[in-house]
Amino acid sequence: MANPLRLAVFDCDGTLVDSLRVIAAAAAEAFTSIGLPAPAAAQVQAFIGLPLIEALDRLAPAGADREGLRDRYVEAYRALIADPAMHEPLYEGAAAALDEIEAAGVLLGIATGKGRRGLDAVLDRHGLSDKFVTLQTSDSGPGKPNPAMLLIAMSEAGVAPSETVMIGDTTFDIVMAGSAGVAAIGVGWGYHAPAELSSAGAAYLATDFTQIPPAVERLTGGNHAIG
């Protein structure tokens, strides 16, 4: 009898890649271009993972030109990621963890607040374009913490919530997972504090990527103990 399909869905920004520098720089350029003070990187960090227009709404003062901010942000971000000096590096151990999870027969997916163009650029740069069976982005539909991206990912992969795990660094990831009936692994190297992830409902908190594969095995019905 064939093993049942299982799916590990990763967030991108703050989970697989460290993108704070480029996102904060793009936000600063967008705000200053329309005469607003640039938000601090710590302010930007708090809202990474939300749909872009919602994140900008939370950062901007009331009455700001939200559409103009979005357009300026997208323009600045695309220019920045074209510069090799501003690339979004993979976190240490990410590639090896993805390989280990895949070798265990678990399908891989992504659910991110990034647009598809930005996600494709990151995956291509790191040689990961063929790694994932489902890619859900801000272009796919409602953003986090709405469960739509995870529900679509599971449908595309042909798996049930009990066979799926979400791995992310923000409370938006964890709440999305809970709303979709999916267990969540919170990561301690991203943009929200581990205590926030735990309070949001993370089933497990990882402090480095070596802990992700065994946690995926346990939470998707595998036989490995969480290390």
Neighbours of 130 (CB within 10 A): 7
Q: 82 and 101 share a domain?
A: no
Q: 166 and 202 share a domain?
A: yes
Which pLDDT value is given to residue 3? 53
Q: 148 and 213 share a domain?
A: yes
CATH number of the domain at 112, please.
3.40.50.1000
How much of the chain, in percent, has pLDDT values that exceed 90?
83
CA 212 to chain centre: 15
What is the full DSSP assignment across the chain?
A: -PPPP-EEEE--BTTTB--HHHHHHHHHHHHHHTT-PPPPHHHHHHHBTB-HHHHHHHHSPTT--HHHHHHHHHHHHHHHHTSGGG--PBPTTHHHHHHHHHHTT-EEEEE-SS-HHHHHHHHHHTT-TTS-SEEE-TTSSS-TTSTHHHHHHHHHHT--GGGEEEEESSHHHHHHHHHTT-EEEEETTSSS-HHHHHHHT-SEEESSGGGHHHHHHHHTT-SPPP-
Q: 64-114: per-residue pLDDT in tens?
A: 888 899 999 999 999 998 888 888 999 999 999 999 999 999 999 999 999
225: in domain: no
Q: 106 and 208 share a domain?
A: yes
Q: 45 and 105 share a domain?
A: no
Q: 106-155: per-residue pLDDT in tens?
A: 999 999 999 898 899 999 999 999 999 999 998 888 999 999 999 999 99
Q: 178 and 71 share a domain?
A: no
Q: How many domains does the chain have?
A: 2
Query: Final residue of a domain: which of 86, 113, 130?
Result: 86
CA 187 to chain centre: 11
2: in domain: no
Which pLDDT value is given to residue 5? 84
Which pLDDT value is given to residue 224? 39
**pLDDT band for position 1 (cuts 50, 70, 90):** very low
Containing structural domain, residue 76? 20-86
Q: Which of 1-5, 6-10, 74-78, 187-191 has the lowest mean pLDDT?
A: 1-5
Query: Final residue of a domain: which of 61, 86, 111?
Result: 86
30: in domain: yes
Q: 108 and 184 share a domain?
A: yes
